[in-house]
Amino acid sequence: MFRMLIAAALALVLTACKPAAETAAPAANVVDTRDVPDPNSYATPDTVRIQHLVLDLRADMVARTLAGSAELHLKWADEKARELVLDTRDLQIGGVQGFDGKTWKTLPYRLDAADAVLGSALRIKLPSALPRVRIRYSTVPQASGLQWLTPEMTSSKQPFMFSQSQAIHARSWVPLQDTPGVRFTYDARIRTDAGLMALMSADNDPKAVRDGDYRFSMPQKIPSYLLAIAVGDVVFKPISSRSGVWAEPGVADAAAAEFADTEKMIQVAEKLYGPYQWGRYDMLILPASFPFGGMENPRLSFITPTVIVGDKSLTSLIAHELAHSWSGNLVTNSSWKDIWLNEGFTSYVENRIVEQVYGRELADMENVISQAGLAETLKNTPPADQVLALPPLAGRDPDEALSDVAYIKGQWFLMFLEQRFGRETFDAFLRHWFTTHAFTSSHSTEFERFLTVELLEKHPGKASIGEVREWLHDPGIPSSAKPAVSTRFDAVDKAQAQWLAGDVPAGDLAGNGWGTQEWVRFLERMPPAITVAQATELDAALHFSGTPNPEIAQRWYPLTVRSGYTTARPAMEKFLTAIGRRKLIMPIYGELAKSEEGRAFAAAVFEKARPGYHPITSASVTEALKAPAPEAQQP
């Protein structure tokens, strides 16, 4: 009920604000960061904005808490305001103080009842528009934005903790304005066990003395979802003078070798879109429970170890997280409805880096794979969620609104523009977008205006506003889209047809010199099910069950489920318990959940795997394994 009231109130505010944002378009080159309010935050950025954050926290690896204080430096737009509203989720608030320029005084506050998606608004009463407020607090062990791993769950056999703030989980470990429309700088002091290293999305020092007391500074303004912390037994291996990997000792050498092309990637991106603006670019290799492939925390991307396969074939993930240093971290969506501005642009930039570093053939193969994935996604996506410029996500969890539409349709839109305007023009345009909007948050309306003025009107006759609007506002893929093609995949498809027809034995396929992408294509283009004899033949010749390559595993195991090839189950179970990356394991759980027997098997595996999963992953698996609702009764 309370949620509905909020939603109704927001809807009113939104309709009231919308015309202003659309009609009062400023002249070209003036950055318009105004947008409708972010419904996924209780904060009131039109009244007050956090400018700087000072964290002083102790990471207790046994109690599984971060405890201490967050000091917020505030800039008030409304000097008459007497309330500061912050986002929190499951935080234990110890007290609030305000600084009036001379002394700190205790302030009254109220913590609202929790909303399942948004958490609790922390409402602080102020005697005046104070410049600083300090909150003493502690997190809970189940904080949605943190995962605490026991020693058995890591390769170093030491405790490990890491954050995942995107989209709206920063509020579960820091009380703040948890909206990408607000940017701030930060300093932090983190204390933890001596011998463990603490790292943040800040100026990590490869030579820091491991005394359990670490200080950080992030002098560039970032949105809250890029606030990040990790504590564990990690060591540093340099790749270049400004880049390197942090990883548990047993993983560090393999990681540095796998990601040896990182400096090359930075240089390619810089040549296209301007200087890398964040100082160092390091990567932290997390334990296998990390629920994502990568997270673009500034200066320190968080990376799954599952892409370390020995042949660099999955390093487009690094290109992706690095690309966010321009698309996303420099120019951010001001609320989650416009996440395609982050992820679609990044997928485009990622593919340009891959093309430059590894060649056109790999870039083409990756595009064909992702466009096929998008086609699958669209089959199960309601039309309203197939548009790039989504309506405000009031009452929705932004994590659920995330899909291939933002990533791949978004990328495809930029590829369409590139094809119409030519690389030279389009590259200059994109660079101009990043440069003029650096360190701001923006939205689809602003991008559409910028595109119209800076590209369409300056180069008339190449693409119409109607075509652009179709990409942004209509469901599906516009007819103006040119699908990606790959000649290498033509050969894979041919070989596959021959194998399926029984003309070529599986053993011969091994001699084709295929890499990861070809095998992915081979498995994805299979008929829905093959015979047990065929599965047995493939497995004997190609050893798919137990493969160390998770992109292959992710496609092979669901095929074995559909085909009734239960021999793969022990290896499948091992995969599901060893890895917590959502994208890799959800297709398998999803396939198992389709039959009652499969669901029971999946539930048993989940029970064993769950202690090692991140809360985000556990929530997804729980949802997937829910018994289907009974069929509606026919009248």
Does 258 qualify as catalytic in the annotation?
Answer: no
Q: At its nearest, how many Å lie between ligand BES and the CB of residue 165?
A: 8
259 binds ligand BES (CB under 6 A): no
Burial (0-12, 13-18, 19+ Cβ within 10 Å), 498: middle
Residue burial 461-496, b: 16+ Cβ < 10 Å; e: rest = ebbeeebbebbbeeeebbebbeebebebbeebeebb
Q: In terms of Cα–Cα distance, which of 65, 69, 78, 74 is closest to 99?
A: 74
| Rounded-to-integer distance, Cα 340 and Cα 405, Å | 8
Q: In terms of Cα–Cα distance, which of 258, 405, 251 is closest to 341?
A: 405
Q: Which of ligand BES, Zn ion, none is residue 402 near (CB under 5 to 8 Å by kind)?
A: ligand BES
Q: Which of Zn ion, ligand BES, none is residue 355 near (CB under 5 to 8 Å by kind)?
A: none
Residue of 321, 418, 448, 518 with catalytic role: 321
293 binds ligand BES (CB under 6 A): yes
Q: At its nearest, how many Å lie between ligand BES and the CB of residue 126?
A: 33
C-beta separation of 506 from 499 below 8 A: yes
User: CB under 8 Å to 447, separation ≥6 — which residues?
Assistant: 341, 433
Q: At its nearest, how many Å lie between Zn ion and the CB of residue 324?
A: 6
| Rounded-to-integer distance, Cα 236 and Cα 217, Å | 19
Stretch that binds ligand BES, among 294-302, 372-380, 493-501, 517-525 (CB under 6 A): 294-302
Q: Single out the residue of 232, 294, 305, 344 in contact with ligand BES (rule: CB under 6 A).
A: 294
Q: At its nearest, how many Å lie between Zn ion and the CB of residue 579?
A: 19
Amino acid at 207: K
Q: Single out the residue of 130, 133, 146, 167 in contact with ligand BES (rule: CB under 6 A).
A: 167
Residue of 186, 407, 557, 565 with catalytic role: 407
DSSP 191-224: E--TTSEEEESS---TT---SSEEEEEEEEEEEG
| Rounded-to-integer distance, Cα 308 and Cα 318, Å | 11
Q: In the structure encoding, which two tokens stand for residue 47, read together?
A: 């009244």
Stretch that binds Zn ion, among 162-170, 341-349, 357-365, 448-456 (CB under 5 A): 341-349
Looking at the Cβ atoms of 154 and 347, the one nearer to Zn ion is: 347
Q: Which of Zn ion, ligand BES, none is residue 167 near (CB under 5 to 8 Å by kind)?
A: ligand BES
317 binds ligand BES (CB under 6 A): yes
Does 407 qualify as catalytic in the annotation?
Answer: yes
248 binds ligand BES (CB under 6 A): no
DSSP 33-89: ---S--TT----TTTEEEEEEEEEEEEETTTTEEEEEEEEEEEES-TT--EEEEEES
Q: At its nearest, how many Å lie between ligand BES and the CB of residue 411?
A: 10
Q: At its nearest, how many Å lie between Zn ion and the CB of residue 80?
A: 40
DSSP 146: E
Where in 577-596 is the site for ligand BES (CB under 6 A)?
Answer: 583
Q: In terms of Cα–Cα distance, which of 151, 149, 146 is closest to 162?
A: 146
Q: Single out the residue of 233, 343, 446, 467 in contact with ligand BES (rule: CB under 6 A).
A: 343
Where in 372-401 is the site for ligand BES (CB under 6 A)?
Answer: 399
Residues that bind ligand BES in the complex, under the rule CB under 6 A = 166-167, 292-296, 317, 320-321, 324, 343, 399, 402, 583
Catalytic residues: 321, 407
